[in-house]
Every structure is written in structure tokens, then in C-alpha cells.
Amino acid sequence: MEVTVYGQLRSATGEKTVDVDFDGGTVADAVDAFVAAYPRAKRHLVDGDGLASSVRLAVDGASATPDDDCPPDATLSIHPAMQGG
């Protein structure tokens, strides 16, 4: 799966677009696969016990929720939680 990241997530990946091993499932599963491949990204995505509410996700260019289906050949875009105020 191709994952495009924005903002501070680039510090975790070193690149804007990375490939992540993913066999398909939900968008949440895809994010989990991304975090497994890039553990430093977790602090930018997780708030408490789950995905931070301000994290924005898109699958193949369409806005997505964590419960949406995500095929293994999709492109996932992750806009991390915004910090500060």
C-alpha cells in the first residue's frame, strides 16, 4: 500500500510517500500497519486509546473513516492531529 503523509509525520518516515505492507481490511487496520512500519508516527496519530479525532484520512483521494474498507492496493493519505492552540 502506498501511504502519503503530511505535516510532522514526515519526520517519522523521512519521505512524503512510503510503501507499507498491508493485506487489506479497514482504514484503521491500514493505519495500524503504517504505525507498525513507522513506530515514531504513533505519537502524532494516537490520542488516549485510539486515533486522535483531528486525524484526517483519505483512501484513493476520498475522505475515509477508520471503519471504512481499505483494499491492499489503495493509496492512503494521513493528515496528522494538529497540535497547539
34-85, pLDDT tens digit by residue? 999 999 999 999 887 788 888 999 999 999 999 999 999 999 999 986 655 5
With CA atoms as reference, report the closest residue to 34 among 43, 15, 21: 21
Q: Which CATH number fits domain 2-79: 3.90.180.10, 3.40.50.300, 3.10.20.30, 3.10.105.10?
A: 3.10.20.30
Domain ranges of the chain: 2-79
Would you state the cell numbers that stand for residue 21, as one nine-digit string? Answer: 505492507
pLDDT at 3: 98
Q: Over 60: is that where the pLDDT of 2 sits? A: yes
First-last CA distance in the chain: 33
